[in-house]
Structure 1
């Protein structure tokens, strides 16, 4: 697996912890971090975990497609079977989608189809919902529109702020994502089995 991340990498860390030292159900190896921000903290996490890092700077490419063609070359070189997006803040183009359709996962901080895109926690609070959560889904050409694979509910408390709700959502992500990824990779969870 290759994990794609752009930020601090808390979901990357949860995945690495589960797959490197977790129970036997976590079959598979995270063999690469792909990062579009070379200064992101996730790079330090990967180095500490002994996971090789491939950093690409999108602004040095003429197009998103050209950027992804270089990424795809690296994925093929490393013989990557699965892509796991973990806080990767770029829209994926058909270059990667055509090569990894049905083998690219993402986690989103809401119960999709509710509150797709950016600022999902703020969207949930602004709307006034009583529950929100996290969703693991396949990546397709839309924004958070791929087939749902797993979800976990997170209750919205009366005095929640964006920060307090986000903290509970992150905790749910860190539990759900590694388990869902392990089940998908092992063939125990697929869209056809929902």
Structure 2
């Protein structure tokens, strides 16, 4: 059974997809803890699904490294097999990445390497792109530059706003994430091999 710690900053829609998938006794992974860098709405899913939560507020630490050290300490208490960044809106310090890699994955609302960074959906619209996508990557110290685990194209429709496009991308992200966790748990995806190609 693959154990997961999921880190969020917002509502946790990808997290909900994982929690719902893991309610199936046949699904080979379980979320053992939910963490956030702020008082995120998605923490309420912990209570709904009976999963412990923790918060490491960025603002209560002197710098990114101090915040990262506390976050890492909280994560490591759970000894997860995999850490999923699911809408966490902060870059992890290099020593946190080093400690968790390659069992550290992130969802991104674009077809990488297109539109990396915090505003992938907005950037795709601003560029007038006819299509964008969703990606799941192994986290490294670059900005959305890690090895790609899975990705899928999403068309940009006439009249799309950042909100409507992001909602359609999130639907694909959720499916990619649940499938990737399944594939990692079943040994069909080897994160170590991906990280060394």
Range 158-167 or range 146-155, more displaced:
158-167
Q: Which residue number in structure 2 is paired with residue 189 of structure 1? A: 189
User: Does 2:15 align with 1:9?
Assistant: no
SS in 1 for 2:23: helix
Range 134-143 or range 74-83, more displaced:
74-83
When normalised by structure 2's length, the TM-score is: 0.90
Range 151-160 or range 81-90, more displaced:
151-160
Structure 1 CA distance, aligned partners of 2:190 and 2:126?
Answer: 33
Range 155-164 or range 98-107, more displaced:
155-164
Alignment of 1:11-50 (within 5 A): 11-21=14-24, 24=26, 26-38=27-39, 40-50=40-50
Q: Which residue number in structure 2 is paired with residue 89 of structure 1? A: 89
Range 182-191 or range 29-38, more displaced:
182-191
In structure 2, runs of 5+ residues without a counterpart are none
Partner deviation per Cα, 1:93-116 (whole Å, 9 max, x = no partner): 122111111100000000000000
Deviation at 1:159, TM superposition (A): 2.3
Range 163-172 or range 135-144, more displaced:
163-172
Structure 2 CA distance, aligned partners of 1:180 and 1:27?
Answer: 12
SS in 1 for 2:106: strand
Structure 2 CA distance, aligned partners of 1:4 and 1:112?
Answer: 21
When normalised by structure 1's length, the TM-score is: 0.92
User: Does 2:120 align with 1:138?
Assistant: no
The alpha-carbon distance between structure 1 residues 122 and 185, as it changes in their structure 2 partners (threshold 3 A), is same
SS in 2 for 1:182: helix
Q: Which residue number in structure 2 is paired with residue 115 of structure 1? A: 115
Deviation at 1:79, TM superposition (A): 1.5
The alpha-carbon distance between structure 1 residues 58 and 183, as it changes in their structure 2 partners (threshold 3 A), is same
Q: Pairwise CA RMSD of aligned residues?
A: 1.6
Q: Which residue number in structure 2 is paired with residue 103 of structure 1? A: 103
Alignment of 1:129-168 (within 5 A): 129-168=129-168
